[in-house]
Structure formats: structure tokens, C-alpha cells
Amino acid sequence: MQAAACTGSTLLERSTMQKSTKANVILKKLRMTRGATVTQMMEATDWQSHSVRGFLSAVVRKKLDLNLVSEVGRDGQRRYRILDEDAGGAS
């Protein structure tokens, strides 16, 4: 019975690998501390820039209702990231 030999973490890894969609890739990048540029998201998904921006607007902001912020860094690159509402400390 080889199926009994699988651990919980192995099953979790398999389910995570199966759900590795382009949308999940972008959301993972947006949750990083530094966020991601449109170029980085384009390279990760093979999408064009208008598709990335449309995803950010329609899905991230509107459908998922996440707090997406856009900032220009010292390098002049615009970065997008999702702010955790719990970490904000708003009163």
C-alpha cells in the first residue's frame, strides 16, 4: 500500500503544484515585501502589459477586493504590492 506511505506534506505539495496558475503566480509576487513590477509579472506569466494591468484592476482590486498599492521606488520603477490589512495597524 504505497498510498498509505504518503505524508500530509507530500499531499499538500501535490495540491499546491496543481493549483500553480498564472493568477496565483502574480498574487504570490504581489504579496512579497518589495512587490513586483509589470515587467516582472509579464515575464512570470508570458502575458502582455495590458493583460497584467487588466488583471490588477479587474481581479485583484475589484473581484478579490485586495488592498493593492502602487509605489515608485528609488530606481524609478513602479511596483505593485498587496498590503495586509492586519499589518497596517489602523485604528
Cβ neighbours of residue 38 closer than 8 Å, sequence gap 6 or more: 49, 52, 53, 78, 80
Question: Is the distance from CB of 82 to CB of 59 less than 8 angstroms?
Answer: no
Kindly report the pTM of this predicted structure: 0.72
First to last CA, the chain: 55
pLDDT in tens, 48-59: 999 999 999 999
pLDDT in tens, 2-50: 555 555 545 445 545 557 899 999 999 999 999 999 999 999 999 999 9
User: Is residue 89's pLDDT more than 50?
Assistant: no
- Please name the fold of domain 22-82: Arc Repressor Mutant, subunit A (1.10.10)
